[in-house]
Structure 1
């Protein structure tokens, strides 16, 4: 096929919809912090256990006020009884740390037209799935995976209703933020996002203690050591101090939460300056 001026003009007009389509898409990154709320915190969020978070994201502008976002975010959830003020929690002396790997699909509702105001507050809500694997350091400083130990009798025949918990769970991201245009391509934002989850085992703590001898027989001394760590507070083993079978270890009344808060930076694919230019591109006015 011979390339002519007419062919070039035809190809240019054919490419216009794809160029406009690209302008609706943004790719970017997230840099922020992770916080945890669960059985090892007395307050909703304990800032002493703030840890880093990183992520990648893709945004699609549906219209001026609605944006859909897909993201993959990594963070660290952690907590410990040692910083609580409750005497009972200090005596329990549990702790945990877990990487959190979240994939999410989120809808953002913008309050203003971003291209006109240059900035806009927004709220968001969506659905997420995340992987986790709680660990804790033993007295030798070695990090130990807690799920295989069955610290609350999960998987033992004496406790048939307690099954090993999944290491993948659902979260419900929601929150609010603000974003501002830096130039035609770049947008900077800041948001605070909460994640109520459908698991109570992000921290490996949920219900009651199980019989010490049963746990020892089926899972070994390490499971007993990590299920209750009160002896480490006094530095000596106290006979009979281990909680009785059925004693309260945690509470399954509320599921665990985590939070991702921080900055987003996104780049608009295809260049241009957003909806203003897209409108002109999609509905051109031909003048003689």
Structure 2
């Protein structure tokens, strides 16, 4: 009878013992970047901004890891640093916070407990929020979305639809490297790209709308921030507000953002050596 009870206790405890050794919690810190209508280069490192995040991971087996987490970063760009005279003359700029929650999976190349390290690939899905702003001459933040700089939500431009949503889905993917620093601590480095489904991360996408219409519907501030090429100190060729339909951005490609950083991860649970156990005898030293 005692043997049966012992066997029953072992059977229900084994999953908890093994599972605990497969969970990790960690943090990341690094940089964030943006690619879109205000970035002439694929990535303009001149506008690199900070990024931090927290995550939890679960090892399914030696090569597959599930992951979830939250990340905060900033993205920004400015036409003044572009090489194109036309873009300098447009003189637009923006910055935006990025709050992201993500779910995904990692494909590990090696068993990290055997090799002590492994490169990996990852992919998943994320929900993120953003809010593009610009600064006036005094350094005050101007919220761009509510200005309808490209006619969003205006009855005269029904093809532009309503205001763009500040909550969007992105597809995170990339690669990283993990190093088993101790039995419980893992250090790493990761590069993650985020493909989005919005072209308004920077509040720029299509064409200019009629100046007088924008003035009547949204006021002078909207006109001022729809086109900034007439501001004092504009690089390139100072101009006047463009005609209705003149190209302002390009809707051909959606905006992207990237997170790159160092990671530190702590393994929960574990036996005397703190390492992952995948069979009954390793979970219980009997």
TM-score (norm 2): 0.91
Q: Which residue of 1 aligns with 2:205?
A: 206
* Aligned mate of 1:28, from 20, 26, 29: 26
For residues 194 and 179 of structure 1, what CA distance do their matches in structure 2 show? 18
Instruction: Give the drift of 1:261.
Output: 0.5
Q: CA RMSD in A?
A: 2.4
SS of the counterpart of 1:56? strand
TM superposition shift of 1:166? 0.3
Counterpart residue number, 1:179: 178
In structure 1, C-alpha distance between the alignment counterparts of 2:27 and 2:102, rounded to whole Å? 14
The DSSP-based 3-state class of the residue aligned with 1:205 is coil
Residue 159 of structure 2 aligns to a residue whose secondary structure is coil
SS of 1:172 mapped into structure 2: strand
Is 1:270 the counterpart of 2:269 in the alignment? yes
Deviation at 1:271, TM superposition (A): 3.1
**Equivalent residue, structure 2, for 1:49:** 47
In structure 2, relative to structure 1, the CA distance for the partners of 1:269 and 1:234 (3 Å cut) is: closer
Measure, in 2, the Cα distance between the counterparts of 1:284 and 1:73: 37
The equivalent of 1:84 in structure 2 is: 82
Unpaired runs of 5+ residues, structure 1, are none
1:220 has 2:219 as partner: yes
Distance 1:73 1:86 in 2: 33
Corresponding residue SS for 2:14? helix
TM-score (structure 1 length as normaliser): 0.91
Task: Give the C-alpha shift of residue 142 in structure 1.
Answer: 1.0
* CA contact 2:18–2:283 (8 Å) conserved in 1: no
Contact 1:215–1:223 (Cα < 8 Å) also in 2: yes
- TM alignment of 1:254-269, pairs within 5 A: 254-269=253-268
The Cα shift of 1:161 comes to 1.3
Please say if residues 93 and 229 of structure 1, whose CA atoms lie closer than 8 Å, have aligned partners that are also in contact: yes
Structure 2: unaligned runs, 5 residues or longer: none
C-alpha distance in 2, partners of 1:234/1:211?
24
Within-5 A mapping of 1:1-288: 14-163=12-161, 164-234=163-233, 241-272=240-271, 273-275=274-276, 277-281=277-281
